[in-house]
Structure 1
Amino acid sequence: MLIVFPRLPLHFIAPGASSNSGDLSPHPLTAFWNLRLVDGALWNRLQHLQDRQHNPILNGNSTGGRTLATGHTYMHGTDASPPCGPDHLWASQVPDFNTMPEQMQDFILSMHCRHYMLLMDQPDLCIGQDTESKAPMLLMAVKSQVGHFENRQAIRETWGRSGWVKEETGGKRWQVRTVFLLGRQDTTTGPHPDLGALLQLESNRHRDILQWDFRDTFFNLTLKDVLFWDWISMHCSHAHYIFKGDDDVFVRTGALLDYLNEHQASSQGANDRAKRREEFLAGDVIANALPSRQPTTKYYIPESFYKGLYPTYAGGGGVVYSGALAMQLQEISQWVSLFPIDDVYLGMCLYRLGVSPVHHLGFLTFDLPQADREKPCAYHRVLLVHKRDPKEMLTLWRQLRPPLPEC
């Protein structure tokens, strides 16, 4: 089972036995830090080392790698990390490695890598907006793949349009910026045409593509989060809110801006409300989920890699969170071992920050009922729906432009 360490209150008093003489302070009856490793699950063992290393009581400000029982060193992702590439010594850490699906094997061999070169950068995306008053209200970070040209263009023409975007009901206009997050074209699953030149033309024209030098596979989606948090901390750290989603969702951007403006207004003033704004993340929240143990499924996670329940997380297609939280995620992610499912990894980071995601009924990551999908009125309370192809995005955008039909 995964060992978890809850956040202590600011003024924590450990339970213990008080001295009758008054000369001795109360002291704990048992150790309050469990040093036992979780046997048999690689991720749990690695994360235990990370948590122990990041515990200032046990280790002060020490840095560097920690050694597993086998003598294998695990680096937590500093500049001292070795060059990124498959390390076959990791195969010896899981007894059933040779029977795992290929995507799981690939992840394990490269799970120590979290620094990749940017092949396409947009350092000027938020230029001139580097103060809180001028910063984008919403930065939309869309996970895409090299070949998804039609998806990206449909998003640019509809819900991901950059510029001044009007709320649906409030009437205000807010600055919105969109950027697409890509890895390197995966050519291991068969013959593929080289689309690099077309992607470069697209990037030159729209200047909204971030591409890193790692294989763009399902189990590498977590890297897009980690690398994007690094990028935004350098180039767009004042953005008020971040939307992170897939390129096959449809978002009612005006309605989302209504919601965010309302949340921002309600978070002004008192310290507790300001803290809620800083620690805000909303989406389709899933709690008490178990890893899939079916080797034939896309989400298969072997027990030799991870044991225990998943933390509470917002899943499937899209979430929105505050820019302040993005900065916290960038920092804490350096101490959370990479996990092959990006939504779950975000939940792991939130857990260690002590942040609880907000469930919003408007995030329909499992879609509307089949009978309602062609009815514009069914979308009146929707902020996000999953999945929609480019043609469906364009159709919905036309149907749902204000003023909305009477329902």
Structure 2
Amino acid sequence: MTPQMKYAGNGSTVSNGHHLRSYKFLKLEPAIVRNIHLKLIFVTFATFCIGVIIGFNVKDIMIQTCGTATSSIVHQPIRREVLKVSKPKNERIPFEQLPEKYLKNIPMPPPANSFPLRPWKITDMINDSSDANPPFFLTILVKSAVSYARRRFQIRQTWGSMKSIEGKKIAVIFVIGLATSKIQQEFLEKENKLYGDIVQGDIKDTYRNLPLKVLSGYQYIVEHFGNASEYYVSTDDDCFINIPNTYEYFTDLDPAKRNAAHCGYIYSARSSRISNPRSKWGVAEEFYPMTPYPKFCHGGMTILSHDILRDIYRVSLITNYTGFHLEDVLTNGILREKLNRGDESIRQIVLRDKKTNKRKPLMWHLGYKKDKEESFDGIWRGIKRMLGFYDGPYDPVRGYRAELSSNLPTLEGQTLQETIEFFGPVVNRKGKASR
């Protein structure tokens, strides 16, 4: 026993003046102690429940005594109605019909283009053709500008060098507007004299005139090509067209494909007008009064048969689209919708690999790449492997049977690279000679 503890003489000890009492000292049995504990717990719980009930009753009495003004604030029916009609921010209004401005027909004007430059080489091929069928399988219209000569050479050296695939001929035409100076026009004329693949409309070549440029290309096809090609492709000069995959998609005998616009790039089913005037794609309400656009293909790649291209061009002549500068929304969206042929007149192309089920692209958009030339060359090497053009001669077992242009024409006494440099620097400076 420690010095701090003393014997109490009754079975307990005393430590620092406090009694540690045993059950013998209290003279209570353990069972009685447990009953006391249970009763204390029950009384505590019952008291808590009574307090909660009294608290809710007091709150209700206070609300009732606050009058009808307080009651209308607590129970807000107007707020409930607002919540019912509110829509998620990402929910878009579906397209129903075109604005009256576009549905209304205007008097047909005379043809607007005299075409200072024409693709003479391709025209000669059409005139020399004795085949009853269209001489071309694909004719690809590439939107370009006078100052983008290097892009045109890049295409001529890569995917544009494919003359045929499985015996089906392919043509590439660059659609360009007017030059801004005499020296620009002179260089453009020399370029077309070498390659014969440029159609020039007599329209000012600006971004906001893109609809006029595209429709000038359509006009040339309707007036001078006729049904010389099974399909026409519209694309940009910063895009790489995958001709083997395009050929694979259009080689079946589905007649419905000839009556639709096919989206090889991006298919927009529910896009709306952008009202921000600072945006590249902004359109003022006066030029398109309604918010939702009809379905359309983005401008990177749209494939049309001759018949639907012709009809889109003809309906453009009786439609007032002044001020509307989005050429893809206009041509294969608004004008296609005005033809009133339903949703079957536009299709999203989905082509998948039969083994892996992975989606196979029909084109690549390289517009935002700084190394476009390297990207073009890299993709072209892959395409040539697909076609069977490896290190050796063509192997029909490894790929499609295709024919590529051997060598591009060059200026007299100059190499191809010197020819590219001759055309490239001058026109890239808006007509100001760098020599």
Instruction: Tell me which interval the TM-score lies in, with the shorter structure as reference length.
Output: 0.5 to 0.7
Could you say which residue in structure 1 is the equivalent of 2:118?
121
Equivalent residues in 2 for 1:4-403, closer than 5 Å: 4=97, 44=99, 46-50=101-105, 64=107, 76=108, 78-79=109-110, 115-122=112-119, 124-125=123-124, 126-129=126-129, 132-161=132-161, 163=163, 165-166=164-165, 172-186=166-180, 194-238=183-227, 239-262=229-252, 265-267=253-255, 273=256, 276-283=257-264, 284-308=266-290, 309-338=292-321, 339-346=324-331, 347-353=333-339, 354=341, 356-361=345-350, 381-388=360-367, 389-403=372-386
CA distance in structure 2 between the partners assigned to 1:182 and 1:404 by the alignment: 31
C-alpha distance 362-200 of structure 1, shift in aligned 2 (>3 A): farther
Shift, 1:223, TM fit: 1.0
Residues 310 and 257 from structure 1, CA distance in 2 versus in 1: closer, same or farther, beyond 3 angstroms?
A: same
* Contact 2:103–2:338 under 8 Å retained in 1: no
TM-score of the pair, normalised by structure 2: 0.58
Aligned pair in 2 of structure 1 residues 305, 329: CA closer, same or farther (>3 Å)? Answer: closer
Contact 1:285 1:357 in 2 (8 A): no
Structure 2 unaligned blocks of 5 or more: 1-92, 389-397, 399-435
Paired position in structure 2 for 1:190: none
CA distance in 1, matches of 2:248, 2:365: 20
Runs of at least 5 residues in structure 1 that lack an aligned partner in the other structure: 6-43, 54-63, 65-75, 80-113, 167-171, 188-192, 268-272, 364-376
Q: 1:204 and 1:344, CA in 2 relative to 1: closer, same or farther beyond 3 A? A: same
Cα deviation 1:143-182 (Å, max 9, x = unaligned): 000011111111111112252x22xxxxx22100110000
1:275-308: per-residue Cα shift (whole Å, max 9, x none)? x423353332102211111121111111132221
- Structure-2 change in CA distance of 1:227 and 1:129 (3 Å): farther
Equivalent residue letter for 1:290:
S
Question: Where has structure 1 moved over 3 Å in runs of 4 or more?
Answer: 1-5, 129-132, 377-380, 403-406
Q: CA deviation at 1:312?
A: 0.6
Count of residues in Structure 1 that have an aligned counterpart in Structure 2: 277
Q: Give the fraction of aligned pairs with identical amino acids, expressed as a percent.
A: 21
1:214-268 deviation per Cα after TM superposition (whole angstroms, max 9, x unaligned):
1111111111222122211122222100010000001111221121112xx233x
SS at 1:335's partner residue?
Answer: coil
Residues 143, 286 of structure 1: alpha-carbon distance in 2 compared, 3 angstrom cutoff = same
The two structures, once aligned, show a CA RMSD in angstroms of: 3.0
Question: Does structure 2 conserve the Cα–Cα contact (< 8 Å) formed by 1:137 and 1:174?
Answer: yes
Q: Mark the structure with the bigger radius of gyration.
A: 2
Structure with greater helix share of residues? 2
Tell me the TM-score normalised to structure 1 length: 0.61
SS in 2 for 1:160: helix
Q: CA deviation at 1:133?
A: 1.2
Q: CA deviation at 1:333?
A: 1.8
Structure 2 vs 1, CA of residues 143 and 156 (structure 1 numbering), >3 Å: closer, same or farther? same
